[in-house]
Amino acid sequence: MEYQPITPNYVTDSRLLELLEWRRAARLRYRVLVATYLAVGAFGGLFGGHALVTEYGNWLAWAISLMILEPAGLACLAGFAFMLLPTAATGGFLTATLRRATLAVLVVGLAYAGTIVGGVLLVIWEYWRRSS
């Protein structure tokens, strides 16, 4: 299998082009630092999902693992691969995993916002109930 380098004509996702430009312009220590963070994130997401499902095999653990931890870990792994070897294959893999990771961020954000709104509504309801 021959490795195809990424060219600006090939890139379909503008985020990949920006990441490739940053990779070329950044100093080596910043690239190593980002690659290290991506490797730690990949290990944490993938191993965390495995550990969660192994310890608690119920539907909630599976949902958290498959909807949040696994997409985040896979996107970090794809980003790590792209930082080390920016080819067309790793770029396509990163583009595919970023879609699922974006949905995972949306799920976490909606859950967080829902918790805050629910808490505020509970406080308002309790205040209204005690004052009347």
pLDDT in tens, 66-80: 999 999 999 999 999
- What is the predicted pLDDT for the residue at 113? 97
Q: Is 78 exposed, middle or buried (0-12, 13-18, 19+ CB in 10 A)?
A: buried
Residues 64 and 52 sit within 8 Å (Cβ to Cβ): yes
* pLDDT grade for 11, boundaries at 50, 70 and 90: low
Residue-averaged pLDDT of the chain: 88
- What is the predicted pLDDT for the residue at 120? 97
- What is the predicted pLDDT for the residue at 115? 97
Q: Is pLDDT above 60 for 8?
A: no
- What is the predicted pLDDT for the residue at 57? 86
* pLDDT grade for 18, boundaries at 50, 70 and 90: confident
* pLDDT grade for 110, boundaries at 50, 70 and 90: very high
Number of Cα atoms under 13 Å in the Cβ half of residue 125: 6
Residues 109 and 26 sit within 8 Å (Cβ to Cβ): no
Q: Is pLDDT above 90 for 16?
A: no
Q: Average pLDDT in the 105-109 region?
A: 93
Residues 122 and 59 sit within 8 Å (Cβ to Cβ): no
**To 10 degrees, the CA torsion angle through 52, 53, 56, 57?**
170
Q: Average pLDDT in the 27-41 region?
A: 94
